[in-house]
A and B are shown apart, each in its own frame.
Chain A
Amino acid sequence: MDAIILQILNGLDKGSAYALIALGLTLIFGTLGVVNFAHGALFMIGAFCAVTLNRLLTLSHQVVDETRTDFLGNPLKVDVPYMQDIFGEATGAAIIDWSVPLAILFSIPIMIGFGVLMERGLIKHFYKRPHADQILVTFGLAIVLQEIIKQIFGANPIPTPAPDAFRGSFDFGTMLGFDPNVIIYPYWRLVYFGFAAIIIGAVFAFLQFTTFGMVVRAGMADRETVGLLGINIDRRFTIMFGLAAAVAGLAGVMYAPINSPNYHMGMDFLVLSFVVVVVGGMGSLPGAVLAGFLLGILESFASMNEIKSILPGIDQIIIYLVAIIILLTRPRGLMGRKGVMED
C-alpha cells in the first residue's frame, strides 16, 4: 500500500513535468499547426536561464589567500562574488541561494522574446510548408541551439541547486498514519508539482476567460474564418508562440535543481514529449495534460521491483507500450480531434 501511494505521488510529480512540456508543444501545434522539434531546446534554454542567472549572481573577483595553495602549488585565489560585496556576506549568499526562483522572473522576458523572435524569424515562413519540412528545420534549429549552449557551458551537467530552504523531504507517511520515513517526498519536487499546476491552470484560464484567449481558441478551430472577421490572428499567434516558449522555459527553470542541466536535456525530453502530445491527441490541451499524468504514473509503477520481477525490462518500454495501446484503441489519442495531422 505504502509503495503504491509513493509511486502515485511520484507519478504525479513526473507527470507534471511531462504535462508542462507537452502543454507548450501542443499549444504551438494547435494554434499554428507547426510541429516544433525545437521545443525540447526551449525547455533546455529555460534550464540554462537558471544556470546563467546563477553565474551572473556569482560573478566574482579573486582574493589571494596566502595560507592555502592551488593544485600547482601557487597561492590560492579565492572567488568572492560581487553580490557579497554589494549586499554584505549574508544577504549576498541568500540572493545566490535563491537564484533558481529568481530565474523565473529572469527567464520570462527572455523566453517570450526568444519565442517571438523564433516565430517571426523562422517559423512563420513554414506555416504553408509540409510537416516534414517543419520537422527538419526545427530539428536543425534544436541542434544549433544545443551546440551553442555546449560551446558556452560545456557538455557536463551543471549543478543548479534549489534554495536551502527546500532541502530534504516531507514525510507524508506520518500524516497518513504510516511509520516515519515510509512515504517521503522531496520539498522541491512538491514545489515543482504545485508550480506546474499553477502554470497549467493559468494557461487554461487565459484561454478560457480572456477575449484574447477566445480569439485564439476560435483561430485554433478555424483560422480562415477568424481571419475573415478582420481579426489579426497572426499577431495573436505570434504572442501565443512566445507564451508557449515561456511555458517550456519555466518548466526548464524549475527543473534545473531536480536534474543538473546539460546541453542535451532537451533532446532527452523531445521524443517523450511528442509521445505525450500524441497520446493526448494532437492539438488538445486537456489531452496533453491528461496524457502527461497518465504516462508519469504508469512509468512510476513500471519501475517498481514487484512489477519488474514479473516483466523484466518493462520500465524500459512502458511509455512506448502505452502509446501503442492507446493509439490502437483510440485512433486520435485520448482527446484528439478528427482530421488533425492525419494526412
Chain B
Amino acid sequence: MSKTTLTRRGVLRTGAVAGAGVALPTIFTASSARAFTNEPTGGSVTLGFNVPQTGPYADEGADELRAYELAVEHLNGGGDGGMMQTFSSKSLEGTGILGKKVEYVTGDTQTKSDAARASAKSMIEKDGAIMITGGSSSGVAVAVQGLCQEAGVIFMAGLTHSNDTTGKDKKANGFRHFFNAYMSGAALAPVLAKAYGEDRKAYHLTADYTWGWTQEESIKAATEALGWETVEAVKTPLAQTDFSSYIAPVLNSGADVLVLNHYGGNMVNSLTNAVQFGLREKQANGKNFEIVVPLFSRLMARGAGENIKGILGSTNWHWSLQDEGSQAFVKSFGTKYGFPPSQAAHTCYVQTLLYADAVQRAGSFDPCAVAEALEGYEFDGLGNGPTLYRAEDHQCFKDVLVVRGKENPTSEFDLLEVVEVTPRGQVEYAPDHPMFAGGALGSCNPGA
C-alpha cells in the first residue's frame, strides 16, 4: 500500500522545512491531488475497529470485534449476508464497498481516552483507515470522535450512552447509532410508573463521572415528571469496588426505590451489594423496595448472576427480538460463534453496514459525502424498527427496549426479557433540548 498523504492545511513550506532542520531529499512527492484523508486508491479499503481489548470491558470489546468481523465478511459477500438481506436500503451488493474489498485493522482502546486516541491515530496514520468505529464507553467515544473530526475521517460510535456524545460534544464527522441516557429515561419512566406506581421515592447512586451525571439527570427528570420524588442522589467513585458504605444508609433514607446509575463492573458490584443487603426483600413506605438499573448490558449483567432477576432497565437491543432484521443477525452471528450477540455487537455491526451503505449511496468515500448521505437518512430492517439518523446531531432515533431480569433463564445468555418496546416517538427530543445544549456539530472535515 503506497500512499502520498498531504494535508491541505499541513503543506510543508520550504522555510518551515529549513526551520525544522530537516534535509529533505529531492525525490519528495509534490502536493498531490488527494481530495481527502486516506482516500483508498487500490482495490481495497481499510476500516479501523478500535475496541477495548484489555481492561474491564475487554469481553465487550471482543464481542464488538466479532460483530465487525461478521460485518466485513458480509460486506465482502461471505456468509449468509446477515442483515444485508433485511436492510431497507438495497445498495450493498456483497462486493465490498464501491467495489473495493473491505479490509480492517484492530486496536486496543484500553478504555482510556488517551490510549484510544493513540490507537485511532495509528490506524489513520499508519494503516490508512478511512473510518474508525468502536468503543465501549462515552469518554472514549467523545475523545476519538474529536480526533476523527480533526483528522478528517468518519467516526461511527460503538457503545456510548452519554447524552454528550451527540449533545455538547457532537461533531460533524461523528455518528451514533446507540441510544442515550435521555432515551433510557423517557422509555423507562412510564414502565416504572406502571409497575411500581407513581408515588415513589427514589435514591440514586451515580458513578461520579460525566456519563453517570447525564444518566442521573435524565432519569431524575423523566421519573419526576411522572410524580416520583428524588430523596437523595449520591456520587460514588469510579474506582469503588465495594459499595456497601453507600448502600447501607439507603433503607433508612425514606426511599423505596434504588436507582443504580452504574455501568460495567460498577453496576455488577453495586447491584450485587444491594441485593446482599437484602433490599429487595424489604418493605419501605408500605411498598416493596425496588431496584432499577437504567442501562442494562446483558454481557456485564452475567457477572451479577441471580441478582438481576426481576430488575427493570433499558437496553438498545436484545437478541430475543422477533423482527426480521434481528433474527437474521442473531442467526448468522450465532451460527458463526455459537452464542447470541450482545447489544454492543449489534450496534457495531449496524454501524458498519450503515457506513458502507452511505458510501455506496454517496458514490464516494469522501467523509463529507458520506456524512451527507447519513444525515436525515431513514432506514429499517436493522432491528429497532424504522430509524432516523437525525441531521442536526447525528443521533439515531429508534425504538428503545425496556427489559427485566428473567426469573427462569434457560441458558447463560437468556438473562433478560423484553417488557416493552418503547416506540421511537416517545423517546424523541428537540435537538436543542437543554440536556444536549452547548455544542455544535461544526462543519464536516475531509482532512486533506
Contact = CB atoms under 8 A, between A and B. Distances in A.
Nearest to B304: A159
Given A14-B242, A154-B59, A72 B232 contact: no
B265 interface: yes
A334 to B, nearest CB: 22
Given A186-B277, A258-B273, A316 B303 contact: no
B252 A259 contact: no
Contacts of B244: 10, 13-14, 189
Contacts of A268: 239, 241
B144 to A, nearest CB: 21
Given A10-B244, A71-B340, A260 B278 contact: no
B268 interface: yes
B276 A188 contact: yes
Interface string B302-318: 11111100000000000
Interface stretch (B80-88, B156-164, B346-354, B409-417): B409-417
B420 to A, nearest CB: 21
Given A71-B320, A259-B273, A185 B234 contact: no
Band of interface residues on B: 35 or more
Nearest to B414: A71
A313 B236 CA distance: 9
Contact of A262 (B265, B277, B305, B414): B265
A148 interface: no
Contacts of A17: 242
B56 A71 contact: no
A186 B282 CA distance: 13
Interface string B246-261: 1011011000000000
A7 B249 CA distance: 9
A18 B59 CA distance: 29
Interface stretch (B32-40, B65-73, B184-192, B328-336): B328-336
B115 to A, nearest CB: 16
B58 interface: yes
A159 B307 contact: yes
Given A70-B411, A154-B59, A168-B278, A184 B251 contact: yes
A169 B277 contact: yes
Contacts of B284: 181
Interface string B122-140: 0000000000000000000
Contacts of A167: 278
Given A72-B330, A156-B302, A186-B277, A265 B410 contact: no
A10 B282 CA distance: 19
Given A167-B278, A168-B281, A157 B248 contact: no
Contact of B246 (A9, A68, A303): A303
B300 interface: yes
Given A7-B248, A188-B276, A158 B411 contact: no
Given A185-B248, A258-B276, A156 B410 contact: no
A259 B410 CA distance: 24
B93 interface: no
B421 interface: no
Tell me which of A7, A17, A68, A316 has the highest count of chain B C-beta atoms within 10 A of its own C-beta: A316
A231 interface: no
Tell me which of A71, A181, A258 has the highest count of chain B C-beta atoms within 10 A of its own C-beta: A71
Contacts of A184: 248, 251, 277-278
B330 A156 contact: no
A68 B410 contact: yes
B245 interface: yes
B85 to A, nearest CB: 17
A3 B252 contact: yes
A226 interface: no
Contacts of B272: 159, 258-260
B234 A155 contact: no
A68 B409 CA distance: 12
B58 A150 contact: yes
Nearest to A73: B331
Interface in A66-92: 68, 70-72, 76, 78
A181 B235 CA distance: 23
A149 to B, nearest CB: 12
Contacts of A185: 248, 277
Nearest to A265: B241
Given A71-B320, A156-B303, A161-B305, A259 B269 contact: yes
Nearest to A14: B242
Contacts of A3: 249, 252
A119 interface: no
Contact of A182 (B56, B252, B281, B303): B252
B411 A14 contact: no
Interface of A: 2-3, 6-7, 9-11, 13-14, 17, 68, 70-72, 76, 78, 150, 154-161, 167-169, 181-186, 188-189, 257-260, 262, 264-265, 268-269, 299-300, 303-305, 308, 313, 315-316
Given A71-B340, A72-B334, A260-B268, 5 more contacts: A14-B242, A159-B306, A168-B278, A181-B284, A308-B235
13 contacts: A10-B244, A71-B320, A71-B340, A161-B305, A184-B277, A184-B278, A186-B276, A258-B273, A265-B241, A269-B241, A304-B245, A304-B249, A305-B232
**A-B pairs with the 7 shortest C-beta distances?**
A159-B305, A157-B303, A155-B58, A168-B278, A303-B245, A169-B278, A300-B245
